[in-house]
Amino acid sequence: MNSKAAVLITGASSGIGAVYADRFAKRGHALVLVARDRVRMEELAQRLRQENGVTVELLPADLTDSDGLARVEARLRDDSRIGILVNNAGTAAHGGFLDQAPDDVAQLISLNTTALTRLASAVAPRLAREGAGAIVNIGSVVGLAPELGMSVYGATKAFALFLTQGLHVELGPRGVYVQAVLPAATRTEIWAKSGRDVDSLPAVMEVGELVDAALAGFDARETITIPSLPKVEQWTSFEAARKAMVPNFLQVHAAERYRQGS
């Protein structure tokens, strides 16, 4: 019997999710693949079964649809073989805020934040009871960079980062590992799908290299993994500055600069 936890990967029909599937299959994990495109997932599943002898199941679902999302939530809640969730499905939006239709914005938020949170929420109680398992949330460096002008997409990725840090605080002591991976530009279909030419970017990482680095962070049990960032000290000092500010928030009086005439 295979004692390794099964891995449920969302957005597994292409790009980063498909490579996660490949790498976890190579490590001998059974897989549950989630996305809308059943045909692409079946092609991937057949190859992974053949090459690695692992069980690969498909759970086709649109995660912005309440029925689809509920099916995946139920699977995460009830299937005790699943010990790792890779919350990867996501889309980006082209254009600036003024050009984006509210319905498109709502759809983006629904996939990148609501689905991500509901799936984590479906699996977390069981993992906490078992005192084991992992939740991996795919964020983006865009979530740290409002200057890039992708405000809604970046906000969803900032959400993924914050949620990860919060869940790390809450679930870490219960034995559940939570990781956020923050890729920078990576060669996948997301760029063409959102109307952008990936080759116009100054630097793009190949998707295999991105996922291998993310898994190195996973193996090291990092909470935040930024594969492209050359010096980790930049992230650790950013975090140290944030943490140093937190004890100063609770005050009886407003800061001196806001006190008028007192």
Ligand X SMILES: NC(=O)C1=CN([C@@H]2O[C@H](COP(=O)(O)OP(=O)(O)OC[C@H]3O[C@@H](n4cnc5c(N)ncnc54)[C@H](OP(=O)(O)O)[C@@H]3O)[C@@H](O)[C@H]2O)C=CC1
Summarize as ranges the residues that interact with ligand LPIYNW4C (CB under 6 A).
Answer: 92, 140, 142, 184-185, 190, 194
Tell me if 189 contacts ligand X by CB under 6 A. Answer: yes
Tell me if 183 contacts ligand X by CB under 6 A. Answer: yes
Tell me if 225 contacts ligand X by CB under 6 A. Answer: no
81: amino acid identity, one letter: R
Length of the chain: 262
Which CB atom, from 41 or from 92, has the smaller least distance to ligand LPIYNW4C? 92
57: amino acid identity, one letter: E
Tell me if 137 contacts ligand X by CB under 6 A. Answer: no
Tell me if 76 contacts ligand X by CB under 6 A. Answer: no
The residue whose two tokens read 């900032």 is: 158
15 binds, among ligand X, ligand LPIYNW4C, none (CB under 5 to 8 A by kind): ligand X
User: b/e per residue, 230-241, with b = 16+ CB within 10 A?
Assistant: eeeeebeeeeee
Tell me if 185 contacts ligand X by CB under 6 A. Answer: yes
**Rounded (5°) CA angle 253-256-261:** 95
The stretch among 35-43, 161-169, 170-178, 253-261 that binds ligand X (CB under 6 A) is 35-43
| Six token digits for residue 183 | 């890729």
| Six token digits for residue 243 | 């943490």
Residue of 138, 10, 115 lying closest to 66 (CA atoms) = 115
One residue of 113, 140, 179, 225 binding ligand X per CB under 6 A: 140
Residue of 65, 114, 79 lying closest to 7 (CA atoms) = 79
Smallest gap from Cβ 53 to ligand X, in A, equals 24
Q: Pairing state of beta strands 177-181 and 134-138? A: parallel
193 binds, among ligand X, ligand LPIYNW4C, none (CB under 5 to 8 A by kind): ligand X
204: amino acid identity, one letter: V
Which CB atom, from 128 or from 205, has the smaller least distance to ligand LPIYNW4C? 205
Contact 118, 10 (CB under 8 A): no
Phi, psi dihedrals of residue 8, rounded to the nearest 5°: -100, 125
Which CB atom, from 46 or from 80, has the smaller least distance to ligand X? 46
Smallest gap from Cβ 57 to ligand X, in A, equals 16
Smallest gap from Cβ 226 to ligand X, in A, equals 10
Tell me if 190 contacts ligand X by CB under 6 A. Answer: yes
260: amino acid identity, one letter: Q
The stretch among 73-81, 161-169, 187-195, 226-234 that binds ligand X (CB under 6 A) is 187-195
Q: What span, in angstroms and rounded, lies between the C-alpha atoms of 225 and 107?
A: 27
153 catalytic? Reply is: yes
Residues found near ligand X in the complex (CB under 6 A): 11-17, 35-37, 62-64, 88-92, 111, 138, 140, 183, 185-186, 188-190, 193
**Residues recognised as catalytic:** 153
